[in-house]
Amino acid sequence: MNLIDPRRAQAEQRQQQAVHASAPLFLRACPGAGKTRVLVDRHCLTPPGPRRAGRALLSFTNVASDELRDRCSGNRPDLTAFPHFIGTFDSFLWRYLVRPFLPATPPWQHVLSWDHVPAAVVGPRKVPLSSFRFSYDPATRQTAVQWPAAARSLVRSQLSEADYLRLAQRRRDDLWQRRGYMTGHEVRIAALDHVRNPSVTHLLRHRFIEIVVDEAQDCSELDLTILEQLHRAGLPLVVVADTDQGIYEWNDARPQDLHSFTLHLPTRLELNGNWRSSPSVCQLAATLRPTSRSIPDDPVGDHHEAAIPLLLLPYGHHGRKASGLLDASDAGEAFVGYAAREDIAPADCLAMAYRNDAVPKARSRPAPNHPKGTDAKALAWAAAVFTTAEAPATARKHALAIASTLLDDYWHPDTEETLADSLAAHGIAPALMRRRAGKFLTALPPVDATPARDWRSAARSVLRAQFPPSTNRPAPPKILSLAAKELDQPIGSLVGMPQADSDSTPAAGMRSSTVHQAKGSEADAVLIHLPKPQSVTELLQAWADPLTHTENNELLRTYYVAITRARHMVALTYPLSKHREVTTHLETMKIDYREETAHHLV
């Protein structure tokens, strides 16, 4: 028997314990623990045949819930249909705790954000309602409003911040209570109100034998309050989380709140067998965790014998010294080269940073961020995405939405309704609109080095030729705005397309994203970019402080997520001026590393 066999057997035994454990249950699962397999196996224990009650499998993203559905469908297709439910936490709340208990009117709609409601603007400056932050106190049932961008948005304004806050509250209440629009925040407030009603939870107990909440570290205070009410009402809950990966504190998702909630769940299990990462990745990640969990997760997967140390790629100049790498793009190219030495292809490399503008770019398609507006830049993004074969389905869907909205605005310029309402009012089938939007996007000029003003002019001509299904021909379009500073820039550069003559792009094929966007993904090799000396200082200070760890510091949790995406190899790139501090810290923490750069005097 190989030495790895007993460790794998122990990891599989813990998985089986989680599969068969009774609810209520809290399952802590480390990165790469195989929790999706556990949840699918648990669901597959459901006896076949007709049932009145089913299981709800909930996650916080469509990608995660789709993976659960696909895996269940491959084993037992009946487990993806009634009476079971597999979907997002938001869709579950809307379907089972909100919509059935709302009055008949107004015509209620669950919207992704206020940006999808044309009338959701505030004041004479038409500030988007999505710019305001609404918070709700479950104890007092009071709502507070904040406007983070008030200082820069109120320059030479006749109205004060307080005026805009009052207007935002009124507009939101009007859109919600009178016109029936609800974002996820309003859905949660309504769900909490309904779940406090014993008759509602009585129905839910007869509808579901178990409610499984995956990625529960993303639960906000409101989410946990709803789950607490369900638990008190006797709903069997299975809560699966890794609090070390909680990186949405800005959305009121705090690990300490989840910890307090899970103390009420009688059964607690832990999966610490890591089927994804190498020993060096596991050891590096463990140094960010609290002392009570500083023992690395057990690497039991295919990379259990890999011993690639942390790769350091400092770049730029410092004093009379210079690195062989000029900038982050050079570091990205070097990273792909070093990965190739380990037989890792560029497509299996992932470059990340805290902010999108700091990610070493290496893509042949537009930036992954979905535009919020419908200006010329958004249309160019949509055209580039729609005509790019490797674009993900979600991006293509968003591209069609942008084109559909622009066509509707052109055909019906005076409407303030949502796209769905406008199509219904004018008798246009959604399928027809999608076909027209697709033809519109493919008819647009290429998104290349053409100056933005020229591209916009050509796009307007294409838009002018898009006649509506009715016989009424609209006036010439005046939409497709562009900022003055962007008019002379290449349209391709505005949406993230590389320049044809650019030599600063890392090797083709390397993926890139922010850490937050990469959550849930993995790669053989991971490059983490710290773009400023201050970024390095902040990380090292938090990392070195024995009282600071992933339980109480979101910065460390963010880099913990970044590190644990790696299967085989992790690299750091940062300004050369911080290199000595980085190596000193790694030596203090007894973290094995290697430097891959040529320092020389200048």
Q: Are strands 600-601 and 321-322 parallel, antiparallel or unpaired?
A: antiparallel
The response to whether 439 counts as a known ligand-binding position is no
Tell me which residue has tokens 């200070």. 541
Among residues 268, 259, 237, the alpha carbon closest in space to that of 18 is found at 268
319 annotated as a binding-site residue: no
Distance in angstroms (rounded) separating the CA atoms of residues 445 and 521: 34
| Burial of 124 (C-beta count, 10 Å sphere; 0-12/13-18/19+) | exposed
Amino acid at 522: E
**Given the DSSP bridges, would you call strands 208-213 and 237-241 parallel, antiparallel or unpaired?**
parallel
Q: CA 339, CA 450: separation in Å to the nearest integer?
A: 35
Among 462, 323, 316, smallest CA distance to 382 is for 462
**105 annotated as ligand-binding:** no
Type of residue numbered 412: H
Residue with tokens 């509808």: 207
Q: Indicate the pairing of strand 127-128 with strand 25-29.
A: unpaired
399 is an annotated ligand-binding site residue: no
Supply φ then ψ for residue 152, to 5 degrees.
-85, -15
- Three-state secondary structure readout of 91-132: HHHHHHHHHHHCCCCCCCEECCCHHHCCCCEECCCCEEHHHC
Q: Hey, what are 523's tokens?
A: 């790669």
Are the C-beta atoms of 572 and 530 separated by less than 8 Å?
yes
Residues 6+ apart with CB under 8 A from 255: 217, 243, 244, 246, 550, 551, 552, 557
- Residue 35 is assigned to a ligand binding site: yes
Q: Among 159, 225, 149, which residue's Cα sits nearest to residue 191? A: 225
54 among the known binding-site residues?
no
Question: How many angstroms separate the CA atoms of 383 and 447, rounded?
Answer: 7
Give the annotated binding-site residues: 29-36
Give the annotated binding-site residues for ATP: 29-36
